């Protein structure tokens, strides 16, 4: 396998800019024609900001979020997280970076079925070496109202509880940036409201950056900036 | 760093083992126990077989010459066929010179330098497990030799060295002193020969292939979990470590089962062949005598290596899987493929065209199935050819137990191979469950699905047959001296080669094609009973 050439480009990114996206494209090849799921996207997110991205299904917003979080590879363009080119890192570096600096909340929770709620939450911390923020678990669990459910397996929890466990897992390493892909999509209205208010209060407490993809215009309206995505093109709302 | 990777992988692997539904783990442990037992018992059989056959070939004897002058003793010691000479003290204080005759070390150890060094280090060859039996058995054998020796010298009135040498040779060749001591010693020399390691390698390939299929099935069922782990920051190295730890524990948990199966099989075999086993040959049923503990440790380590190799191969194959594909719980199906097939439908409106395109797209996974399944084939056919070789003499009292043993083992290996082939075929087609579910939801009926699946099954089974054939023939070439004794020598070499080739071609085709179709049919049976939505979600 050919080794990916390292970029020699050096850019100056102000310290308050936690996420910088330049000319990002994701193209799926369809015979002779191309489908641009994400088309020439530019984005700048400052530390502590809450960004929401709304758009119709298939507009490319989840694809964009996955690329921003290092879960999917762009066809072209650059993503700088805290000044580091995300896709210039090796798999090992990117994995370590994702573990320590990025939190991800998925619509369908993606909890590990063989681990209890506590083990699910603590897993990223264990992966990071286990010494980071040793007492944060108790605080987080209490805030998220999971104290009496931490020894249960995901299959024994309700949807709302599972999503709170997923949120705790995403936050346990106090990541600089939190990505949420329609986190309320599988929740009822009450659970959705609870989760969003919890995420926002924790964000303020830790001065975290939150990038959320959502269909819910009420949630989108709470954000500092709202972007719309249409046919792969990102625009400020 | 490595320690950190291991610690977090161990954390996850142990919980995975404890809390996962027992089906996979118990199935894996059973398969593992069966494979290791088969290996152990087959190698034991090989060793036993060699014990019967090889004393005639290796001149592996001790004998004693009495009342020799110093000059004669020196002469005897210098003979090329004498490996060692030593003086023994007899009760009558007669001066006896004992000679040990055997092929030299280099000749005995046809295996590579590495293997030789390993065996030297663990002291397998120096161990001499026959020592405990030496006193009781040696006397009988030597008395027989002495009677012959004295009879010969008295009748001729000669005591010269040349005569002693001739008599010794005559005795070795004509009388073939095959007492138990010699057999044990022969086995010791057999286990360090190339044939033995070829057989072990075949077993390792068999085990690795079986485990690859087992782990591959499990891996695909756990895509979502692994995607989640990757999203949390686990690297491919972590996933590999998790799988290796899990396989290691499965292997360890299978070992008690291995011993139970082996003991049970031997007990059954003893009962079945009770009439043919004499007191003299009863010891041949003792596995530990033939496969001493150090050798068994080597075997278990090699089998563990095969299990871990099979597991590692699966992780290696999936190392480039996108995290999002894993999280979605399905294998990557590119948009380009869907688009390409849509165009094909528009032009030809043919399900066959769709199938052809799919085959082209999925050739990599088919190649993988073909390689893995082909690796399994040499062993059963190798055993089958041994069985055929033994068939003419199967009725005799000497060969009957060996024949029966080979028959039972061959059956066991064929059943295991059948299970592996069927599982591999089923697994290959079950990868298409989601796609087939979508086609059904669009109105494709059962005939349409069969039209799509069966040609692919044909192509796959033909490829497996051809690859298996090459593997089987290669095995025959590697182990061409393996059964080089009287029963086999009767047939001419040209005729034998053609017979072997023909039986391999027909045998592999007759075995592989039905097994592949059985796997396909079993999947389709399950698929047609499954709700369309479940298939579309790719959940088994």
Residues in A closer than 8 angstroms to B222, CB to CB, are: none
Mean pLDDT computed over B490-508:
68
Compare A149 and B478 and report the one with higher pLDDT: A149
Distance from the first to the final alpha carbon of chain B: 37
φ/ψ of B178, rounded to 5, equals -110, 60
Indicate if the pLDDT at residue B351 is higher than 90.
no
| Minimal CA separation from A153 to chain B, in Å | 10
3-state secondary structure B7-53: HHHHHHHHHHHHHCCHHHHHHHHHHHHHHHHHHHHHHHHHHHHHHHH
Q: At what angle do helices B363-376 and B194-221 cross, to 10 degrees?
A: 140
CA–CA gap between residue B266 and residue B417 (Å, rounded):
22
In eight-state DSSP terms, residue A183 is T
Q: What's the gap in Å between the CA of A190 and the closest CA on chain B?
A: 27
> Are the Cβ atoms of A95 and B234 closer than 8 angstroms?
yes
Mutate to test the interface with B, among A99, A104, A113 (most CBs of B within 10 A): A113
Distance CA(A217)–CA(A215), nearest Å, equals 6
Cβ proximity of B206 and B376 under 8 Å: yes
Task: For residue B442, give the nearest of B330, B532, B353, B357 by alpha carbon.
Answer: B532
Among B239, B372, B250, B246, CA closest to B316 = B239
Enumerate the β-bridge partners of residue B450: none
Question: Coil, strand, or helix at residue B311?
Answer: helix
Least confident of A51-55, B25-29, B369-373: B25-29
- pLDDT per residue as tens digits for the range B211-251: 888 888 788 778 888 999 999 989 989 999 999 998 898 88
Taking CB atoms and an 8 Å limit, are A110 and B327 in contact across chains?
yes
Side-chain half-sphere CA neighbours of A7 within 13 A: 15
Structure tokens at A36: 């641009």
Cβ of A30 within 8 Å of Cβ of B235? The answer is: no
Rounded Cα gap, residues B360 and B200, in angstroms: 37
* C-alpha of B333 from chain center: 37
Q: Is B126 exposed, middle or buried (0-12, 13-18, 19+ CB in 10 A)?
A: exposed
Residue B167 tokens read as 């008599």
Q: Count of CB contacts below 8 A, A vs B?
A: 88
CA distances from A51 to A80, A181, A182, B160 (A): 16, 12, 13, 107
Q: What is the average per-residue pLDDT within A116-131?
A: 87
Grade residue B489 by pLDDT with cuts at 50, 70 and 90: very low
Report pLDDT digits (tens) over B87-146: 544 434 445 555 554 433 444 344 455 555 555 554 444 334 433 333 444 444 455 555
Q: What is the mean pLDDT of chain A?
A: 85
Residue B539 has pLDDT above 60, yes or no: no
Who among A31, A110, A111 is closest to B339 (CB)?
A: A31
pLDDT at residue B178 greater than cutoff 80: no
Strands of A177-181's sheet, edge to edge?
A102-105, A177-181, A209-213, A50-55, A225-230, A233-236
Burial of residue B3, with CB atoms counted within 10 A of its CB: 0-12 exposed, 13-18 middle, 19 or more buried: exposed
Angle between the A159-171 and A117-127 helix axes, to the nearest 10 degrees?
20
> Can you read off the two tokens belonging to residue B359?
């085959």
Give the separation between CA B526 and CA B426, rounded to whole angstroms: 10
How far is it, in rounded angstroms, from Cα A99 to Cα A123? 10
The SS3 assignment for B472 reads helix
For chain B, percent of residues with pLDDT exceeding 70:
54
Residue range B305-309: mean pLDDT, rounded: 91
Taking CB atoms and an 8 Å cutoff, what residues of chain A touch B232?
A: 98-99, 123-124, 127, 169
A217: pLDDT strictly greater than 50: yes
Q: Which residue has the tokens 């719980």?
A: B329
Angle of helix A136-143 versus helix A159-171 axis, rounded to 10: 150
Which residues, 6 or more positions from B510, have their beta carbon under 8 angstroms from its beta carbon?
Answer: none
Residue B412 is inside which H or E element, if any? Answer: helix B400-430
Residue (of B139, B166, B142) closest to B153 by Cα position: B166
Q: What is the mean pLDDT of residues A105-130?
A: 88
- Identify the pLDDT of residue B118: 53
- Sign of the alpha-carbon dihedral angle for B390, B393, B396, B398: negative
Is B484 in a helix, a strand, or coil? Answer: coil
All domains of chain A in start order, with CATH:
47-70+97-236 (3.40.50.300)
User: Mean of the pLDDT values across residues B286-297?
Assistant: 63
Mean pLDDT of the region A19-36:
81
In chain A, which residues have their Cβ closer than 8 Å to the Cβ of B238? Answer: 95, 127
Contact B333/A at CB under 8 A:
no
> What average pLDDT does the structure give for chain B?
68
Q: What is the pTM of this model?
A: 0.71
Tell me the pLDDT band of A71, cut-offs 50, 70 and 90.
confident
pLDDT of residue B506: 79
In terms of pLDDT, which residue wins out, A108 or B98? A108
Which has more pLDDT, B266 or B516? B516
For the segment B360-382, the average pLDDT, to the nearest whole number, is 81
Query: Is A109 at the interface with chain B, CB within 8 A?
Result: no
- Asked if A169 and A120 touch (Cβ cutoff 8 Å), the reply is yes
Q: What are phi and psi of A185, to 5 degrees?
A: -60, -35
Least confident of B75-79, B240-244, B329-333, B453-457: B329-333
Q: Tokens 């190798």, residue?
A: B382
Among candidate residues A14, A49, A65, A55, the one with its CA nearest the CA of residue A207: A49
- Percentage of chain A beyond pLDDT 90 is 27
Distance (Å, whole) CA B244 – CA A123: 19
Q: Give me the torsion for CA of B87, B88, B91, B94, rounded to 10°.
A: -20
Residue partners of A87: CB distance under 8 A and separation at least 6: A70, A73, A74, A78, A79, A94
pLDDT band at B11 (very low <50, low <70, confident <90, very high): confident
Alpha helix segments (H runs only) across B362-399: 363-376, 378-390
CA distance B323 to A94: 12
**Identity of the highest mean pLDDT range in A151-165, A190-204, B374-388, B423-437:** A151-165
Tokens at residue B538, please?
A: 């790719």
Q: Which of residues 156-215 of B touch A (CB under 8 A)?
A: none
Give B327's contacts in chain A (Cβ within 8 Å).
71, 106, 110
Q: How far is B358 from chain A (nearest CA, A)?
A: 15
CA-to-CA distance for B134 and B88, rounded, in angstroms?
14
Among B3, B221, B228, B240, the residue to mutate for chain A (most A Cβ within 10 A) = B228
pLDDT band at B483 (very low <50, low <70, confident <90, very high): very low
Question: Which of A68, A4, A111 lies closest to A212 in space, CA to CA?
Answer: A68
What per-residue confidence (pLDDT) applies to A82? 77
């Amino acid at each position: 396998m050919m080794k990916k050439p390292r970029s020699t480009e050096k850019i100056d990114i102000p310290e308050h800019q936690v996420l910088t996206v330049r000319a990002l494209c994701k193209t799926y090849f369809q015979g002779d024609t191309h489908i641009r799921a994400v088309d020439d996207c530019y984005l700048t997110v400052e530390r502590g900001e809450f960004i929401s991205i709304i758009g119709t299904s298939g507009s490319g917003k989840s694809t964009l979020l996955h690329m921003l979080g290092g879960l999917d590879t762009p066809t072209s363009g650059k993503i700088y997280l805290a000044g580091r080119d995300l896709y210039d890192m090796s798999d090992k570096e990117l994995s370590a970076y994702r573990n320590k600096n990025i939190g991800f909340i998925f619509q369908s929770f993606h909890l590990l079925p063989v681990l209890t709620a506590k083990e699910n939450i603590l897993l990223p911390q264990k992966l990071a070496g286990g010494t980071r923020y040793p007492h944060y678990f108790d605080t987080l669990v209490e805030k998220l109202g999971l104290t009496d459910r931490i020894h249960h397996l995901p299959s024994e929890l309700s949807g709302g509880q599972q999503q709170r466990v997923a949120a705790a897992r995403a936050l346990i390493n106090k990541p600089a940036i939190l990505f949420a892909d329609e986190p309320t999509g599988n929740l009822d209205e009450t659970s959705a409201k609870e989760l969003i208010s919890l995420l926002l209060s924790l964000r303020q407490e830790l001065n975290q950056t939150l990038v959320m993809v959502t269909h819910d215009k009420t949630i989108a309206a709470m954000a500092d900036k709202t972007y719309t995505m249409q046919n792969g093109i990102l625009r400020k709302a | 760093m490595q320690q950190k990777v291991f610690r977090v992988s161990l954390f996850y692997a142990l919980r995975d083992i404890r809390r996962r539904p027992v089906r996979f783990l118990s199935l894996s442990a059973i398969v593992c126990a069966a494979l290791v037992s088969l290996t152990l018992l087959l190698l034991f059989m090989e060793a036993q077989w060699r014990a019967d056959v090889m004393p005639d070939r290796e001149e592996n004897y001790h004998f004693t010459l009495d009342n020799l002058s110093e000059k004669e003793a020196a002469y005897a010691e210098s003979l090329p066929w004498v490996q060692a000479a030593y003086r023994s003290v007899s009760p009558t204080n007669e001066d006896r010179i004992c000679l040990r005759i055997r092929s030299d070390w280099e000749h005995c150890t046809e295996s590579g330098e590495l293997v030789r060094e390993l065996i030297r280090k663990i002291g397998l060859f120096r161990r001499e497990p026959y020592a405990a039996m030496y006193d009781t058995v040696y006397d009988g054998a030597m008395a027989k030799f002495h009677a012959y020796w004295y009879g010969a010298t008295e009748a001729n009135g000669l005591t010269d060295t040349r005569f002693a040498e001739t008599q010794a040779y005559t005795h070795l060749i004509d009388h073939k002193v095959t007492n138990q001591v010699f057999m044990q010693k022969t086995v010791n020399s057999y286990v360090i020969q190339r044939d033995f390691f070829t057989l072990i390698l075949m077993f390792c390939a068999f085990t690795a292939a079986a485990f690859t299929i087992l782990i591959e099935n499990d891996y695909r069922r756990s895509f979502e979990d692994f995607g989640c782990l990757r999203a949390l920051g686990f690297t491919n190295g972590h996933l590999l470590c998790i799988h290796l730890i899990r396989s290691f524990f499965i292997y360890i948990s299978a070992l008690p089962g291995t011993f139970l199966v082996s003991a049970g099989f031997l007990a059954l075999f003893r009962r079945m062949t009770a009439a043919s086993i004499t007191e003299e040959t009863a010891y041949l049923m003792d596995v530990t005598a033939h496969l001493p503990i150090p050798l068994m440790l080597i075997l278990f380590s090699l089998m563990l290596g095969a299990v871990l190799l099979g597991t590692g191969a699966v992780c290696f194959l999936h190392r480039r899987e996108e995290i999002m594909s894993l999280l979605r719980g399905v294998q990557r199906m590119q948009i380009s493929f869907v688009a390409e097939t849509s165009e094909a439908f528009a032009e030809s409106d043919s399900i066959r065209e769709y199938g052809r395109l799919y085959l082209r797209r999925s050739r990599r996974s088919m190649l993988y199935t073909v390689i893995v399944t082909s690796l399994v084939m040499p062993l059963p056919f190798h055993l089958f050819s041994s069985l055929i070789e033994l068939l003419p003499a199967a009725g005799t009292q000497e060969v009957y137990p060996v024949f029966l043993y080979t028959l039972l083992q061959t059956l066991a290996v064929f059943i295991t191979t059948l299970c592996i082939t069927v599982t591999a075929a089923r697994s290959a087609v079950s990868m298409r469950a989601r796609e087939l579910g979508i086609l059904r939801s669009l109105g494709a009926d059962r005939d349409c699905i069969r039209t799509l699946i069966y040609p692919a099954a044909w192509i796959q089974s033909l490829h497996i047959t051809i690859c298996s054939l090459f593997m089987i023939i290669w095995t025959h070439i590697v182990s061409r001296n393996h059964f080089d004794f009287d029963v086999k020598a009767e047939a001419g070499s040209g005729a034998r080669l053609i017979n072997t080739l023909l039986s391999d071609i027909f045998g592999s085709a007759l075995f592989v094609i039905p097994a592949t179709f059985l796997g396909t049919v079993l999947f389709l049976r399950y698929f047609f009973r499954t709700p369309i939505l479940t298939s579309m979600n790719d959940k088994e």
